[in-house]
């Protein structure tokens, strides 16, 4: 006699959608008549939504496949349907034949039984800010690629500008390249464009600017310089939109607009950081009086990554700091069997916020005499720098969560002690306890005689 195992139905009016690039397969049940295929045009998405509403569907689950889900997700949410966006690894079917129909029915079954958990999704303003910031990073990467090509063509022209200046896209480098593209070939006149901050002398720069005057390389250099200028203009335009998005979030709360923070001239501003607005002040207002820039190692890029990837309200969606660090994949995925730990490694995969925190942790490793740098060196001594970067990044995530969720200012402990220092304090405390217990005096220990002999 066969036995049946029953499970509690959590969402009785649930549907599952297998998202695709050309069509979406939708299942509202396990029968063949309960599955329909819809296109990806706007009218198809409206027809799909109406079909779900006609069948009294209130909950929908779908995989986060590329960017194909976003338009459908917005359409379903506007219709009042509760949408659960799942990671693809949680919806894998059992071994066997795989089709789009089977996939959507399997998703529908899992969601009906409440076995699917949704992925993190930011609010609308944070999502817009994320789009601007990610597009800005793409522009920076494209400009960096153009810089490498300009270095290549300068070398082919036998102009070794990269040796005499640290950055060819700095004030000195851009002025010299602009003159070269305009037809100037005299090394002394080109070297006279040197900025006063440049460490090399005009004579040394002139030695590096003797060109072979190849017209094809000069043409390519001119093209790359024009593209670099265009990228810089687009980055500036993107910065304006980023500032608008941040201020839009701040202006929703009147108390945030009146907040003022202290200037931080010790924080070095990277050349790729936004320069048309004060990110230190805006971030202080955005996080409702939480000064994240007070943390050593946290730079402008770290703060803007936190604002754009998860947002102020997004951090509060995590109940504990451990959950936040686990979502960032900075906590070890410990696996146990038979009461023994068989593996404990960081999960694979990364996101932009995790990369930003790891970059901040790496910068902390180069600091001296700070709370976090002492922690970094202690881990680095035992397990190496790579493990110290991960551990410090996780500690940063915990610190940031506590500051934002619990509204706790950053107050590092200044009396951080290494292991030998802790042992010394314990030894002194034990000696003092023994002196008190046996009521010993300096004469009993010979301290008085030692002091008399020292003075004599």
Taking only the tens place, the pLDDT of each residue in 42-53 is 999 999 999 999
In terms of Cβ atoms closer than 10 Å to its own Cβ (0-12, 13-18, 19+), residue 104 is buried
Name 49's Cβ contacts closer than 8 Å, sequence gap at least 6.
75, 76, 79, 81
Q: Is the pTM of this model over 0.95?
A: no
Place of tokens 């089709």: 99
Enter the tokens of residue 359: 């970059």
**pLDDT digits over 60-92, tens only?**
999 888 889 989 999 999 999 999 998 888 787
Poorest-pLDDT segment among 1-10, 77-86, 114-123, 343-352: 1-10
Residue labelled with tokens 């607009």: 257
Sign of CA dihedral 261, 262, 268, 274: positive
Give the CA distances from residue 118 to residues 8, 85, 107, 114, 253, in Å, rounded to whole numbers and listed in that order. Answer: 19, 5, 13, 11, 29
The encoded tokens of residue 272 equal: 């790729």
Q: What b-and-e string marks burial along 118-146, b requiring 16 or more CB atoms within 10 Å of the CB?
A: eeeebeebbebbbebbeebbebbebbeeb
Q: Is the pLDDT of residue 424 over 50?
A: yes
Strand partners, 336: 341
> Mind listing the pLDDT tens digit for each residue in 118-135?
888 888 889 999 999 999
Query: What digits encode the pLDDT tens for the residues 361-397?
Result: 999 999 887 889 989 999 999 999 999 999 999 999 9
How far apart are the C-alpha atoms of 310 and 333, rounded to whole Å? 22
The owner of tokens 């971030």 is 283
pLDDT of residue 177: 94
Give the highest mean pLDDT range of 78-92, 167-181, 344-358: 167-181
Task: Note whether 72 and 51 are within 8 A (CB).
Answer: no
Confidence bin at 437 (pLDDT 50/70/90): confident
Could you tell me the CA-to-CA distances from 69 to 74, 78, 86, 164, 262 in Å, in that order?
9, 14, 11, 51, 43
Number of H helices, E strands in the chain: 20, 7
CA–CA dist 153, 220 (Å, integer): 7
At 334 the pLDDT is: 82
Q: Which of 141, 130, 220 is nearest to 180 (CA)?
A: 220
Strands 333-337 and 82-86: unpaired
Q: What is the largest CA-CA distance in the chain?
A: 107
Running DSSP on this structure, what letter comes out for residue 44?
H
Q: Which residues contact 275 (CB under 8 A, 6 or more apart)?
A: 239, 269
Both tokens of 123, joined, read 């609010």
Q: Are 41 and 138 in contact (CB under 8 A)?
A: no
């Amino acid at each position: 006699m066969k036995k049946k195992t029953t499970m509690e139905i959590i969402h009785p009016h649930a549907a599952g959608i297998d998202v695709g690039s050309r069509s979406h397969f939708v299942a509202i049940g396990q029968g063949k008549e309960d599955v329909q295929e819809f296109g990806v045009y706007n009218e198809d998405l409206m027809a799909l939504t109406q079909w779900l509403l006609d069948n009294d569907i209130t909950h929908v689950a779908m995989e986060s496949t590329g960017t194909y889900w976003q338009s459908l997700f917005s359409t379903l949410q506007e219709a009042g349907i509760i949408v659960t966006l799942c990671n693809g690894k949680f919806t894998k079917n059992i071994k066997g034949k795989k089709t789009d129909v089977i996939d959507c029915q399997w998703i529908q079954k899992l969601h009906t039984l409440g076995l699917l958990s949704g992925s993190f999704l930011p609010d609308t303003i944070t999502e817009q800010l994320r789009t601007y910031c990610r597009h800005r990073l793409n522009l920076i990467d494209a400009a960096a690629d153009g810089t490498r090509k300009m270095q290549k063509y300068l070398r082919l022209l036998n102009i070794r500008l990269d040796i005499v200046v640290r950055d060819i896209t700095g004030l000195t480098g851009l002025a010299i390249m602009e003159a070269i593209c305009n037809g100037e070939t005299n090394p002394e006149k080109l070297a006279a464009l040197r900025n006063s901050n440049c460490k090399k002398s005009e004579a040394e720069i002139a030695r590096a600017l003797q060109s072979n005057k190849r017209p094809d390389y000069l043409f390519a250099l001119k093209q790359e310089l024009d593209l670099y200028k265009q990228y810089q203009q687009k980055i500036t335009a993107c910065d304006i939109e980023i500032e608008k998005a941040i201020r839009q979030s701040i202006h929703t709360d009147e108390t945030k607009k009146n907040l003022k923070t202290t200037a931080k001239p010790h924080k070095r501003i990277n050349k790729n950081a936004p320069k048309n607005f004060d990110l230190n002040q805006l971030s202080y207002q955005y996080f409702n009086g939480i000064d994240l820039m007070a943390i050593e190692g946290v730079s402008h890029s770290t703060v803007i990554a936190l604002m754009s990837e998860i947002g102020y309200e997004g951090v509060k969606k995590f109940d504990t700091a451990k959950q936040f660090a686990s979502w960032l994949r900075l906590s070890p995925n410990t696996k146990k069997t038979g009461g023994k730990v068989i593996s404990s490694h960081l999960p694979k995969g990364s996101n932009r916020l995790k990369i930003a925190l790891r970059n901040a942790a790496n910068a902390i490793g180069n600091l001296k005499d700070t709370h976090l740098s002492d922690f970094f060196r202690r881990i680095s001594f035992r397990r190496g720098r790579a493990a110290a970067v991960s551990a410090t990044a996780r500690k940063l995530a915990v610190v940031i969560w506590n500051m934002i969720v619990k509204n706790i200012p950053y107050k590092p402990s200044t009396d951080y002690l290494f292991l030998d220092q802790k042992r010394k304090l314990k030894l002194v405390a034990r000696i003092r306890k023994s002196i008190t217990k046996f009521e010993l005096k300096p004469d009993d220990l010979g301290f008085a005689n030692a002091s008399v002999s020292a003075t004599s």
